Amino acid sequence: MSKKTILSGIQATGNLTLGNYLGAINNWKKMQEEYECNYMIADLHTLTIRNDPEKLRNNTLDLLALYIAAGIDPEKSNIFIQSQVAAHAELAWILNCYTYMGELSRMTQFKDKSTKHADNINSGLFTYPVLMAADILLYQADLVPVGEDQKQHVELTRNIAERFNKIYGDTFKIPEPYIHGVGARVMGLQDPTSKMSKSSTIPNDSIFLNDEPDVILKKFKKAVTDSENIVRYDKEKKPGISNLISIYSAITGESKEEIENKFESKGYGDFKVAVAECVIEELKPLQNKYNELKNNPDYLEKLYINGAERAKKIAKSTLKDVYEKVGLVW
Ligand code: TYM
């Protein structure tokens, strides 16, 4: 039986968080043996907010280095930069014509982002999930490994694909979101009722993948908890400590019950240090490798050129089928 196909991506906005790592990249690494993996750097998506062009270029290459540093193996997985495969933007246009304004208006990320960037609610922000649908459908992906916050976009992708297939016959594989357990929604350390985010403006709320060990320790020590001082998972009543338990569990593989037992006689102070230490240990090899790769731009260039070539071949075959089906002379 042939391997199932995966596609996923991260926006090239810099400053990746522990949430991006536990919700996405760390799972991608594990999926490489079993699946045909396509991992892209979503640079086109980042244009929905204003960027400094030089920064965007750097962030894109940094993210590529980070994928490799985190264990995504270019021999096993197809790694590429979204904008280098023109079919993404081309299919997005077609799919825009099969997506309703009402559907896009219901996207929670659009609502959030248009509140945050009230001075720049551009139409790219509105049609952002259609570009994401094009990313996924071009590769005929079976599964889309993402964190909880992207589930709604994958569901919209399914609806668009089903609608298209109904009109033109089998064209797109219908993808499933693949949302992996404990790390799927890492919350902020200061506001554990909101997801940990790259763009959080609250100090010490997010752990960034390039944070130094002493910074990580400090942030965990300051994490908001409750006054009970008992390490027990209760997402409703104890969101702060529950988030720390989830992080510890996602990294060590220990279950929530095992963690509760292990720290039964310990207070929050000890537990916070233990969580910080496991995060520091987990990120250390990634940070070392990342620093090495950043000094090797030639290697990175070779990687993205090869990746784009491979991706173009797959994407072109789906796009050709779509163009022919809708009646374009191509
Ligand atoms: P982005 O760049 O916001 O996030 C990248 C991945 O990280 C996950 N994530 C989290 N997981 C757990 N806890 C958190 N606090 C947390 N924050 C972020 C996200 O769910 C995501 O998996 N539109 C996408 C990028 C994209 C894409 C695609 C993804 C573009 N095309 C095609 C999949 C398939 C985005 O903005 O993710």
Give domain limits for the chain. Answer: 5-179+297-326, 213-291
Q: Which of 55, 151, 173, 198 is catalytic?
A: 198
Q: Is 53 left (phi over 0), alpha (psi -120 to 50) or beta?
A: alpha
84 has pLDDT over 90: yes
Rounded percentage of the chain residues whose pLDDT exceeds 90: 90
Is residue 140 left, alpha or beta, with left meaning phi > 0 and alpha meaning psi from -120 to 50? left
Q: Which CATH class is domain 5-179+297-326?
A: alpha beta
Examine the residue annotation and report whether 113 is marked as an active-site residue of this protein.
yes
For 238-253, how does the pLDDT look when each residue is reduced to its tens digit (9 = 90+)? 999 999 999 999 999 9
Q: How far is CA 89 from the centre of its chain?
A: 20
pLDDT band of 117, cuts 50, 70, 90: confident
- Per-residue pLDDT for 1 more than 80? no
pLDDT digits (tens, 9 = 90+) for 290-320: 999 999 999 999 999 999 999 999 999 999 9
Q: Measured between alpha carbons, how far is 266 from 269 in angstroms, rounded to an integer?
A: 8
CA 173 / ligand 1 centre spacing (Å): 21
For residue 181, pLDDT beyond 80: no
Q: How far is CA 201 from the centre of its chain?
A: 20
Max Cα-Cα span within the chain: 72
Strand 5-11 vs strand 78-81: parallel, antiparallel, or unpaired?
A: unpaired
Range of lowest pLDDT (14-18, 33-37, 282-286): 14-18
Q: Is the pLDDT of residue 15 over 90?
A: no
Mutating to test ligand 1, I would choose from 150, 155, 182 the residue with most ligand atoms within 8 A of its C-beta, which is 150
Residue-averaged pLDDT of the chain? 95
pLDDT at 184: 83
Q: Distance between CA 188 and CA 217 in Å, rounded?
A: 15
Res 288: pLDDT: 96
Decide which of 1.20.272.10, 2.130.10.10, 1.10.240.10, 3.30.390.30 is the CATH code for 213-291: 1.10.240.10
Assess whether pLDDT exceeds 90 at residue 14. no
With bands split at pLDDT 50, 70 and 90, how would you rate the model's confidence at 266? very high
**For the residues 184-213, what does the mean pLDDT come to?**
94
Q: Six-digit token pair at 245?
A: 């338990």
Q: Return the number of other C-beta atoms located less than 10 Å from residue 123's C-beta.
A: 10
Q: From the CA of 7, give the closest atom in ligand 1.
A: 34
C-beta neighbour count of 292 within 10 angstroms:
13
- Answer whether residue 231 shows pLDDT above 80: yes
d(CA 277, CA 290): 20
